[in-house]
Amino acid sequence: MTTAQLVDYRHFVLAHLKSYSVKVAPPGESFKLASGGRSRLYVDAKRTVLHRQVHQPLAAILHEEVRQLGHVDAVAGAVLGGCHLASIVATYAAVRSEPLYNVVYVRKTPKDHGTGHVVEQAWGRFGEWVVLLEDVVSTGATAKHAVSALREEGFDVRGVVALLDRRAPDARTETIEGVPLRVVYRLEDLELAAADLAAIRSEGP
């Protein structure tokens, strides 16, 4: 994968996000976020990442971000947004004859039937090093929970890769739970109207 191809892929995926996933509420209205907070900005990333034309370019982008964190044995997805991302990255690596990754899913709460697991994983573990994938970071709470859950299962979390960090610049962190955070896109990349961007930045976590 060349640098030029990755740049083209980043432009392609971002264009889809801006066209199909970004929603801005009118002044005085807001969306409820997964974190429990409210914001005029809602990014429904699934409308982009689940599209058939986006799978391959997005997988290539995320795979490169995972590679930047060094050797890992598995890729994990935080339910629900990160699960598809982990799966397409593992599939992308396999079809390209890259080092193989197990896939791990991390639930928000224990499963209410069967084994009651929070962390879902394959029957064979071939190493402990894992990278967590997340679609949108709003407060970081989902990623923090997932990192903690993975550690409780004996994994060594090497980093977090997020498709979008929608936090304002003064709320951003370079790590989550002590591990590096790599981000594909940030709030500014969405190219919102200046008045909307200023209002969203002032909302706080």
| Three-class DSSP category at 43 | strand
What CATH code is assigned to 3-201?
3.40.50.2020
Listed by start position, the domains of the chain span: 3-201
Asked if 171 and 187 count as a contact pair (C-beta separation under 8 A), the reply is no
Per-residue model confidence as pLDDT tens digits over 59-101: 999 999 999 999 999 999 999 999 999 999 999 999 998 899 9
Tokens of 42: 């809602």
The reported pTM is 0.94
Residues 173-201, mean pLDDT to the nearest whole number: 94
Residue 125: predicted pLDDT: 78
The Cα–Cα gap between 115 and 113 comes to: 6
The Cα–Cα gap between 98 and 90 comes to: 9
pLDDT band, very low/low/confident/very high, at 205 (cuts 50, 70, 90): low
Per-residue model confidence as pLDDT tens digits over 93-137: 999 988 999 999 999 887 778 777 899 999 887 789 999 999 999
